[in-house]
Amino acid sequence: MATAETRREELKAVWQQAQACPKCPQLAATRNTVVFGAGNADADLMFIGEAPGANEDKQGLPFVGQAGRLLDRLLDEIGLARADVFIANTLMCRPPGNRDPLPGEIDACQDWLFKKLELIEPRVVCTLGNFSTKLLRADPATGITRLHGREEIRRIGPRTVRLFPLFHPAAALYTPSMLEVLRTDFARIPELLALPAPDQPEPEAEPELVVPEPEVVAELAAEPPPPEAHPSQLGLF
């Protein structure tokens, strides 16, 4: 079994590979940064949203706008902080105009998400909003209104977790009633973290992530490359 330090270093290496990901040509050409995710590389709790917005695309970090500030406040109310959790999205690149992710983009980014789950080893995964909830449950028919606050044991890629759907903080910014529902659901997170970790599946041989060739990335770039990202964006040190 890999140590926390080994997994942390491997996560940094995966982060470095992801910075030049060319799998979605339109996203690779229009993004400013790849928003890999940030937080504790050994977190028991992981949040997964939909996709980066404009602020996230500029800063290279997830949930840095108003919704992020509300997320910070909700964490503080249950005795946690960003340093205790890991936050990511189903997509690492901002869709143009904040449109919904396309099916091909979701498929292309899925291996990166699964690799994060494998290396961080969270016990509880909170989906934020309708989109990520439907995606990670592989159930496009059942929405967040019905599922929020109802945990279940579910395998997501390489890892079995307690999946706990939540309303997206952005939806609660201007709706007081939804904010109270979100606050009530958040209050259950500590008890979920206190439960035993779900049994894990037997490890399988995994395909290697394709490391993009520099010349391919160069062909996709419509503008001069952004300033080189720094590993501190991972929030690991």
Strand order in the sheet with 45-49: 38-39, 86-89, 45-49, 124-127, 159-163, 152-156
Task: Flag whether 179 is in a domain.
Answer: yes
187: domain CATH number is: 3.40.470.10
Task: Flag whether 234 is in a domain.
Answer: no
Domain limits for position 181: 4-195
As given in the structure block, the two tokens for residue 12 are: 């940094």
Confidence of residue 1 (pLDDT cuts 50, 70, 90): low
CA dist., res. 174 & res. 178, Å (int): 9
- How many domains is the chain built from? 1
Q: Report which secondary-structure segment, H or E, holds 71.
A: helix 66-77
Higher pLDDT, 217 or 133: 133
Task: Flag whether 224 is in a domain.
Answer: no
Percentage of the chain beyond pLDDT 90 is: 77
Q: Please report the pLDDT score of residue 220 as a whole number.
A: 40
Task: Flag whether 232 is in a domain.
Answer: no
Residue 134 near residue 143 (C-beta atoms within 8 A) = yes
Which DSSP letter does residue 222 get?
A: S
pLDDT of 166 above 50:
yes
Task: Flag whether 203 is in a domain.
Answer: no
Residues present in the chain in total: 237
pLDDT of 25 above 80:
yes
Task: Flag whether 229 is in a domain.
Answer: no
Residue 49 near residue 129 (C-beta atoms within 8 A) = yes
Task: Flag whether 218 is in a domain.
Answer: no
Higher pLDDT, 74 or 237: 74
Tell me the Ramachandran region of residue 164: left when phi exceeds 0, alpha when psi lies from -120 to 50, beta otherwise. Answer: beta
Higher pLDDT, 233 or 53: 53
- Mapped onto helix, strand or coil, the DSSP state of residue 155 is strand
What is the residue-averaged pLDDT of the chain?
88
Higher pLDDT, 229 or 9: 9
Confidence of residue 174 (pLDDT cuts 50, 70, 90): confident
Amino acid at 80: L
Task: Flag whether 114 is in a domain.
Answer: yes
- pTM value is 0.86
Listed residue (132, 155, 153, 151) closest to 143, CA to CA: 132
